[in-house]
Amino acid sequence: MLIKPIIVLIAFLASLTVFGYRLYGRFEHMRLGQPVGPFARWGDRIKAVVVFVLGQRRLFRFPTPGLAHFFIFWGFLLLFPTIAQAILEGIFPGFVLPILGTFGPLALLQDVIAVIVAVAVLYGLYLRVIAQPERYKGSHGAEGILVLTFILIIMLSLLLMNGLRRNLGEAPIEAAFWQPVSTAVGSLFVGLNEAMQRALYEVFYWVHLGVLLVFLTLLPGGKHFHIVTSVFNVFLQNLEARGKLPPAPQFGGVAGVSKVEQFTWRRMLDWYTCTECGRCQEVCPAYASGLPLSPKLLVMGLRAHLFERGTALQGARKNASLQAVLEKRLTGDVIADQVLWACTTCYACDQECPLFIEHIPPIVDMRRYLLTQQRADAMLMSALGNLRRYGNSFGKSDRQRAMWTGGLEPRIKDIRKEPAHTLWFVGDYASYSPALTEITQATARVFRQAGIDFGLLYDAERNAGNDARRVGEEGLFELLAAKNKAALDKCQYEEIVTTDPHSYNTLKHEYSFNGKARPVYHHTEVLDRAIASGRLPIRRQLGYTVTYHDPCYLGRYNGVYDAPRRVLNAIGCRVVEMPRNRDRSLCCGAGGGRIWMEEAGVKERPAENRIREALSLDGAQYFVVACPKDVTMYRDAVKTVGQERIIEIKDIIELVEEAL
Amino acid sequence: MDIVVPIKFVPDLVEEMEIGESGKALDRTFMRLIPSEQDDHALEQALLLKERHGGTVTVVTLDAGDVDETLFTAVANGADRAVKVRGEGFDKGINNHAASAVLQEALKDIPFDLILTGTQAVDDLDGSVGPLLAARLGLPYVGYITGIALEDGKVVARKEYPGGMVAEMEVALPAVLGIQAAEKPPRYVVTSLVLEAMKTATIEEREAGGADCSGAAGVTRVYLPQAAERARMLEGDANQVADALVALLKEHRLLS
Amino acid sequence: MLAAGRELADGLGGRLTALLLGHNTQELAATLGAADSVTYVDHAALADFTPDAYQRTIAGMIKEDPPRAVLIGHTSMGMDVACSVGIQLGVPLITSCRTIRVEDGTPRYVSVTCGGKVMVEGEIPGPTCLVTMVPGGYKPEAGRREGAPDPSTWLRTKIYELAPPTELNDLRVSLQRYVEPEAGDVDITRESILVSVGRGIQQQDNLKLAEALAAALGGAVSASRPIVDKGWLPTSRLVGKSGKAVKPRLYLALGISGAPEHMEGVPDCETLIAINTDERAPIFDAARYGAVADVLKLMPVLTEKIKQAKGG
């Protein structure tokens, strides 16, 4: 009679040992990483776990799979007592879990949820086997199917066990109505004699236990490790402002990351938590345009490399194959250069990831290293050379920065010489691009009509450095920021306004003003205020039907979605939303320094993809943008798509001026 | 192979050129000075040769003003030594005859096998520094070079002729070569490395005597060209300009 | 050059001698009729241009009989020679000269610098001065004299064959071989319509806009130096000093600034139209029509309209 308990115990211990061993192995690899911490703001962190883990909030961005996973997750939690019950009753025959094992309402919940989980799993299998959505491309499909099958078996075997046990009179809960499903399942076997039923019970028990214990050993090896790490990953998430990149690491005087152990252990935890769900890949504009970047594959690649390199580093004898692994270069062999350069830093991936895995910071870290090795295309290096020498990416003289003001009467205040309430930081594109001069001038006129007391830095302004930083030239960013700060320090103003979301982002989050910081606004926020307060009277209601494109650095990065829409409504425009709006807005493709890079490998420009999306809307006459680079990118795209007569690109300021 | 790269600072054509009060020279008040573009290529070519064959690269320049950053950047790019020669009147711009004499003096104690410099600079009026220096040093000179190979201790230089023709010339060392374009575009080195060079590298400073400007012609007048005929300008946005162009092409019977 | 020399010689009342160096090339002397005489030096070492050999020969000639001025072409060959001859002989040097005039018995030069943006004037110093000349100041016809050499002209044009100086042994620079330019698919010198692109097209990808425009016009795409240096187009498409000289009926200069080195390649075009975002670009001085516009925006629009106009 002791045989079964001994076998169960051995099996359980064996499984636990394998799980523990593999878990420890992963932990040891993580210890290769750089230190980081401490982690403060526990209150916010606990809240995040409640909302995003217990609440599964981000998962619902893909509604049906989200719902399915919600139930699988909660099913797992609610059914955990039954797992404990199964193991313990195997070792201690007749054991019943106190309270949880006999609580009727819980049993009812468990019964029902087991069915729901089974249905959810069938849906999951349907997705994997039949529907095969694009986002799964590159994920470990076999593992996914295996685990779903495991879960299904666990659910079904549980119900069968419960049902048979009831038939045998050994159900821990007396009243059958607390376990309606189990009872129904059990009723299928009522015709069999007791010995048969007991034998079947044993079979289902071993199936149940066996699959559970095998599943446990698999956890640390693949994407289901997230079952263990997800709570930690969400708890330890980056709580800094999104638009603030972490500081740049340096190793042996060389900037950036060139070896996987130069990442922090926290970054490695991110990779262990990746479920390969592909939602990041789904929303990535680079991936959609045919470039080789997939945020998901990036993370999976880093994870696999950490494992192989960690193993090789620990190998006692360095045989040839271990040596080959050690010689693999992180950038170049593991992650190709073009993958890293393809990123526009639009934040769609980091926004979408249900477990708060960050994709952009490691990309920037690796870019920093690539630049020290001059592994970037000639056009980018030329743009960086221009930024360093002239303070703008156009290679034009700094004295020409304010040429767009020519002809504006009266002359705009020079804020270096006299104080003004608002410092208007114009930005490179709005200042230097000939195609944008009119829009910049219109902005000045609208500001005047709104009674804003504003001034310019004129020649003292330099590129704010947002994209220089994201391209990986940290030193250049610091140089530009230092020059801007030196100019700003000498001026008197109460707030900074810019029309450029990139400048907005870095001025707001990455410039340290040592206590003299002033608020930074985007011009749509300022217009919104001015219209609402009546200082900017709207004389005409335009009556257009428009669609609004949320710029990445204004929307996703800084949460400014409503102000531009309010402005559009106030001037009498009806806003129809594109399917991908607000934090799902598709990047135009210019960010992350991409506007300075060659376009080799792009099959469909993100901007063209976006225009087609806008064209699919009913009757939108104008595609409204609020970023100078967007104007440039979308005007080009509309021409290439060939629909200039159907939809026209307008900067929001053009419509506002029309309404005055 | 030890290479010396003389760098000349010239007016940046991105800025507007302005005539000084005397009417005999450019106004240097707002002038931005940058290293001559072909000298950047010469440095790049030197660094490429160093990477392939070893040796050292020394950068030399006359102190025309704000030259330190360029020298430190050259060191960050891979140059081994940076030498700055100060002298009276250098900041007002001296002609190439004088500059080459100064360089000849400065190179007396710098050993070299090869001198690479840009084949010409935008403000050259009395020849170019490269060939003048070669003549003063009594060394052979070949200009308009777009590629250099080192074969069996001999230098083979690709010289460009009009029409796209190229001649491969074998040149005995020591020699001076005038670079038209390097085999790769001049490299960009990250700012942090330049800043580091500023902290760790030293620029060797020398004093030169005065500048002997004889050898060039005198200048009586410097002016901005007023073209006798400027183009007839078409106005409007892209659409309007395109329309005007189509009309013109029709008029000139160029649309068959 | 011969035209400038003619003007100088006539202005100062002197003699214009053309110096021809080579090996078995005396027939070329017949084309130099604008000069008063031709001095021809023949030596095996002068068969192909090498800096050392040509320098020594020319220096030797000048030393023997110093003229008032020596005019040399501002070319890849000329510049290799001019500076060293000047230093060797202690003779002053003026480069990038476009025109020479004689005013009140004083020879004066006008040179061009700073990418065509600045002109410099002065006196040509005596007793001897070297001057390198860039094209553009004179029409080629001014340096030629008509007709095949006939007996009466022979009297005016004597060809001297001098014994070459002896130091042409032990040269330090020798020619290994010539490399022909890659046979491009297109010979731009034969095209009557050229769509020429410069830095203004910004990205290699935008070349296809130029190709489309060229196709619509029935022409070909050519380029200025920066484009060829980046490898976006082969050297066979290069227009300019180190590339080809072209003479199309229509030359569309898109995003080209118009630096002298490029303009040398399109000296005499019937209709040159320039598009550039910089209204101060020198090309607008050479163009017949121009517009300050963004070529990236203009190209597709223009292509479309041309197709329509042609009845597409």
Burial class (CB in 10 A: 0-12, 13-18, 19+), A294: buried
Residue of chain C with shortest Cα separation from B18: C118
Tokens representing residue C114 in the block: 């700073």
Nearest to B220 among C121, C177, C242 (CB): C121
**pLDDT for the residue C148:** 40
* CA-to-CA dists, residue B47 to A373, B35, B148, B174, C37, angstroms: 14, 16, 12, 18, 49
Long-range contacts of A132-137 (CB under 8 A, 24+ apart): A133/A278, A133/A282, A134/A278, A134/A281, A134/A282, A135/A277, A135/A278, A135/A279, A135/A281, A135/A282, A135/A296, A136/A276, A136/A278, A137/A278, A137/A281
pLDDT surpasses 90 at C185? no
Tell me the pLDDT tens digit for each residue of A66-93. Answer: 999 999 999 999 999 999 999 999 999 8
Residue of chain B with shortest Cα separation from C119: B223
DSSP state letter for A129: I
* CA-to-CA dists, residue A607 to A281, A551, A630, C26, C216, angstroms: 17, 12, 9, 65, 27
How far, in Å, CA of A334 to CA of C276, rounded?
44
Tell me the pLDDT tens digit for each residue of C19-43. Answer: 777 777 766 766 776 777 777 777 7
The more confident residue out of C167 and C71 is C71
Tell me the pLDDT tens digit for each residue of A299-342. Answer: 999 999 999 999 999 886 768 888 889 999 999 999 999 999 99
C115 to chain B: which residues are within 8 Å by CB? Answer: 13, 122
For the ranges A425-434, B17-26, C260-269, the maximum mean pLDDT occurs at A425-434
| Tokens 């990309």 -> residue | A363
CB count within 10 Å of CB B120 equals 25
Q: Residues for chain B: how many in total?
A: 256
The pTM of the full predicted model, rounded to 2 decimals, is: 0.89
Across the interface, do C203 and A599 touch by the CB < 8 Å criterion? Answer: yes
How far, in Å, CA of B157 to CA of B142, rounded?
8
Substitution target from A366, A367, A370, A371 for chain B, most B beta carbons within 10 A = A371
Residues near A453 by beta carbon (within 8 Å), at least 6 away in sequence: A413, A420, A421, A422
**pLDDT for the residue C145:** 62
Answer whether A89 touches B (CB < 8 Å): no
As a whole number, mean pLDDT of residues A618-642 equals 89
pLDDT surpasses 70 at C140? no
Across the interface, do B220 and C287 touch by the CB < 8 Å criterion? Answer: no
**pLDDT for the residue C166:** 46
Torsion of CA A133, A139, A142, A145, to 10 degrees: -50
Answer whether C205 touches A (CB < 8 Å): yes
Which of A130, A82, A118 is closest to A103 using CA atoms? Answer: A82
Task: Report the share of chain B in percent with pLDDT over 90.
Answer: 59
Nearest to C179 among B141, B166, B250 (CB): B166
Which of C14, C36, C11, C93 is closest to C59 using CA atoms? Answer: C93
Beta strand pairing call for C118-123 and C129-133: unpaired
Substitution target from B51, B183, B188 for chain A, most A beta carbons within 10 A = B188
For the ranges B161-170, B247-256, C74-83, the maximum mean pLDDT occurs at C74-83
Across the interface, do C298 and B241 touch by the CB < 8 Å criterion? Answer: yes
pLDDT surpasses 60 at C156? no
Q: Give the model's confidence band at C144: pLDDT under 50 very low, under 70 low, under 90 confident, else very high.
A: low
What three-state secondary structure class fits A660? coil
How far, in Å, CA of C281 to CA of A296, rounded?
48
Q: Give the DSSP letter string of C146-165.
A: -SS--HHHHHH-EEEEEPPP
CB pairs under 8 A between A and B: 47
Query: Rounded mean pLDDT of chain A?
Result: 93
pLDDT surpasses 80 at A367? yes
